[in-house]
């Protein structure tokens, strides 16, 4: 796919949908930003941090536009960059965020509107809270497999680990999630 | 292998737990990305930023060579392992240095494992009020093996380091305490732990190499307090080390660790002052960005957001960490 680009600085050359060509960075953003923001929110628990990270993903993609391998899986590449930036974010800002959190109450973002099912929103937050309790490695696999619906093979490529490691981490993550869910949700609230 | 059935599609899981993972998607409905798109486009169209001078590889190379020159190969390795976690982990991601995903992983993921070394030039002691005389000491082989302590505290504990075989260690200038010969100060941390109770260097035979052991003992005491999470106790211990061994083998690491402990202990004013001092001190070149960020973060926690913003503005390139500072300042207004 090739498009006209009045602003050369935005042009990124790598494949989309298996067809090599030049893609406007705006188009690239439209095609990939939503799931990247979503997965970064799920991994960081913060929309603001997720947006910062996604911005870095696209800036990185743009700067490395000449080095990207044609016909590579762009989605996997973007996921990999995003996940690694999330890891970096956790390390570099963890201490500062702990202190910031100490001094503020972070109100939960809740969808607004008359049709919003309050109970469902609460349960959604409960899921997110339980995911946040997983270890970083388990959380990555759990989010990518259970919430993003990515295949095990692609997860192994995104995380740079063996497929068997993906499954073992998923098994542990499920176990930990279930324990945390039971603890928070209450064992007597369901059959 | 397609993998196990997803929990979202597993009726048994839903029945057993009353948990529907699909509910989580409601939190992402109506995700508005217009503003973010504008930010991305603006960032891409901004003037190019020169490459970071301290990518992981280059930092290792430059600092490693400098440390080698001063202390020998062995200590360079040790220094690379022992730098304070915070500053190592805070190594900014250089977008210019990010190529393929493998490169991203190598640069971003490996940072905390390959602790960044510090520059070799020695930092003159600044906290010691006493006048020191100096004498040249030829270190002798240390009987202590090089080791790393197993303790590692989540979120930032450094690990104790020991010098390499002193046969590889160049001559160093060691101070002689003019006060209280034979006994060093034994500061007590807030937790009540006696953090140092060792012989001072002036009271040790300078030729038998035990001075190096004494120095390491003082340093290890501080690092162990830090590794155990006793940051308040580690602060006087690191200060004691720096006072006793200005220009010591691990004084740079001690300065950085002291900064980390001050921040962790909630002594933000002192952390800010320490970061400011290190920014002016020789031997911390290449760490301006990390030190500036720690200083900015300390200023925020001191409710001095305008100064924090000025610092991150001066840093130029935006990343998630500078953005966090800006965001927090905006929130506090």
Give the ipTM.
0.76
Q: Do residues A30 and A58 both lie within one domain? A: yes
Query: Tens digit of pLDDT per residue, chain A (191 long)?
Result: 333 333 444 555 454 444 345 667 888 898 899 999 999 999 988 787 888 889 989 888 887 776 666 556 788 888 988 998 888 877 766 666 665 554 443 444 555 555 567 788 888 888 988 998 899 999 999 999 999 999 999 999 999 999 999 999 999 999 999 999 988 877 545 44
Residue ranges of domains in chain B: 56-265, 266-333
Last residue within a domain, chosen from A106, A135, A168: A106
Q: How far is A3 from chain B (nearest CA, A)?
A: 17
The distance from CA B152 to its chain's CA centroid, rounded to whole angstroms, is 13
CA gap A23, A13 in Å, rounded: 6
Contact B284, B124 (CB under 8 A): no
Chain A residues whose beta carbon lies within 8 Å of the beta carbon of residue B158: none
The distance between the two most distant Cα atoms of chain B, rounded to a whole number of Å, is 77
CB-facing half-sphere around the CA of A56: CA atoms within 13 A: 33
Q: Do residues A160 and A68 both lie within one domain? A: no
**In which residue are the tokens 């009020």 written?**
B129
Q: Do residues A100 and A137 both lie within one domain? A: no
Q: Do residues A96 and A118 both lie within one domain? A: no
Domain around A147: 114-191
Chain A residues whose beta carbon lies within 8 Å of the beta carbon of residue B21: 127, 146-147
Q: How far is A17 from chain B (nearest CA, A)?
A: 19
Q: What is the pLDDT of residue A34?
A: 92
DSSP string for residues in A51-117? HHHHHHHHHHHHHTTTTSPTTS-HHHHHHHHHHHHHHHHHHHHHHHHHHHHHT---PPP---STT--
Which residues sit opposite A106 in a β-bridge? none
Q: Do residues A146 and A174 both lie within one domain? A: yes
Q: Do residues A186 and A120 both lie within one domain? A: yes
Q: Does B128 touch chain A (CB under 8 A)?
A: no
Pick the residue of B20, B36, B302 with the most A CBs within 10 A to test the interface with A by mutation.
B36
Q: Do residues A50 and A138 both lie within one domain? A: no
Instruction: Say which residues have a Cβ less than 8 Å from residue B237's Cβ, sequence separation at least 6.
Output: B187, B189, B195, B196, B218, B221, B222, B225
Contact B114, B80 (CB under 8 A): yes
Q: Do residues A158 and A89 both lie within one domain? A: no
Tell me the CATH number at A174.
1.10.10.10
Q: Do A104 and B331 touch (CB under 8 A)?
A: yes
Contact B77, B118 (CB under 8 A): no
What 3-state DSSP class applies to A12? strand
pLDDT in tens, B1-26: 578 999 989 999 988 888 889 888 88
Name the B residues in 225-284 with CB < 8 Å from any A CB: 263-264, 266
pLDDT in tens, A91-112: 766 666 665 554 443 444 555 5
Q: Do residues A145 and A62 both lie within one domain? A: no
Q: Do B99 and A64 touch (CB under 8 A)?
A: yes
Q: Do residues A16 and A77 both lie within one domain? A: yes
Check the CA dihedral B269-B275-B277-B280 and report its sign: negative
Last residue within a domain, chosen from A106, A131, A162: A106
Domain total for chain A? 2
CA gap B57, B62 in Å, rounded: 9
Q: Do B29 and A111 touch (CB under 8 A)?
A: yes
Last residue within a domain, chosen from A106, A129, A152: A106
What is the C-alpha radius of gyration for chain B, rounded to an integer number of angstroms?
24
- Four-way CATH pick for B266-333: 1.25.40, 2.40.160, 2.40.10, 1.10.3470: 1.25.40
Contact A163, B24 (CB under 8 A): no
Contact B86, B294 (CB under 8 A): yes
Tell me the CATH number at A27.
1.10.1740.10
């Amino acid at each position: 796919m090739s498009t006209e680009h009045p602003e050369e600085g935005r042009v990124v050359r790598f494949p989309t949908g298996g067809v090599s060509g030049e893609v406007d960075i705006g188009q690239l953003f439209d095609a990939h930003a939503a799931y990247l923001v979503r997965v970064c929110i799920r991994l960081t628990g913060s929309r603001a941090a997720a947006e910062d990270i996604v911005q870095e993903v696209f800036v990185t993609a743009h700067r490395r536009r000449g080095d990207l391998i044609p016909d590579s899986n762009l989605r996997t590449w973007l996921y990999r960059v995003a996940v690694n930036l999330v890891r970096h974010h956790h390390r570099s800002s963890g201490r500062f965020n702990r202190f910031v959190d100490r001094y503020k109450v972070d109100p939960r973002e809740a969808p607004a509107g008359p049709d919003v099912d309050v109970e469902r929103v609460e349960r959604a937050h409960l899921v997110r809270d339980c995911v946040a309790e997983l270890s970083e490695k388990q959380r990555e696999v759990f989010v990518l497999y259970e919430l993003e619906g990515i295949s095990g093979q692609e997860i192994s490529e995104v995380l740079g680990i063996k497929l068997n490691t993906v499954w073992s981490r998923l098994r542990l993550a499920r176990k930990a999630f279930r324990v945390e869910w039971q603890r928070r949700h209450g064992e007597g609230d369901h059959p | 292998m397609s993998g196990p059935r997803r929990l979202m599609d597993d009726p048994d899981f839903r029945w057993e737990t009353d948990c529907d993972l699909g509910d989580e998607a409601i939190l992402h409905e109506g995700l508005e990305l217009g503003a973010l798109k504008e930010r991305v486009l603006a960032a891409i169209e901004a003037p190019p930023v020169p490459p970071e001078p301290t990518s992981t590889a280059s930092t290792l190379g430059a600092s490693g060579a400098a440390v080698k020159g001063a202390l020998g190969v062995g200590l360079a390795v040790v220094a690379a392992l022992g730098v304070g976690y915070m500053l190592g982990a805070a190594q900014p991601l250089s977008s210019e240095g990010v190529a393929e995903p493998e490169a991203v992983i190598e640069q971003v993921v490996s940072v905390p494992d390959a602790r960044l070394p510090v520059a070799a030039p020695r930092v003159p002691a600044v906290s010691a009020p006493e006048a020191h005389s100096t004498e040249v000491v030829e270190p002798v082989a240390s009987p202590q093996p090089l080791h790393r302590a197993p303790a590692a505290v989540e979120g930032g504990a450094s690990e104790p380091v020991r010098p390499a075989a002193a046969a590889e260690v160049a001559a160093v200038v060691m101070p002689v305490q003019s006060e209280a010969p034979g006994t060093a100060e034994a500061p007590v941390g807030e937790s009540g732990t006696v953090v140092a109770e060792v012989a001072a260097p002036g009271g040790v035979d300078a030729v038998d190499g035990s001075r190096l052991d004494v120095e390491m003992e003082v340093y290890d005491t501080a690092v162990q307090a830090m590794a155990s999470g006793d940051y308040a106790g580690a602060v006087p211990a690191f200060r004691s080390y720096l006072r006793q061994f200005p220009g010591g083998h691990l004084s740079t690491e001690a300065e950085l660790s002291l900064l980390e402990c001050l921040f962790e202990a909630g002594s933000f004013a002192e952390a800010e002052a320490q970061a400011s001092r290190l920014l002016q001190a020789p031997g911390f070149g290449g760490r301006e960005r990390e030190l500036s960020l720690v200083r900015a973060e300390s200023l925020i926690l001191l409710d001095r957001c305008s100064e924090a913003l000025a610092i991150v503005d001066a840093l130029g390139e935006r990343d998630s960490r500078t953005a966090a500072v800006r965001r927090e300042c905006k929130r506090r207004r």
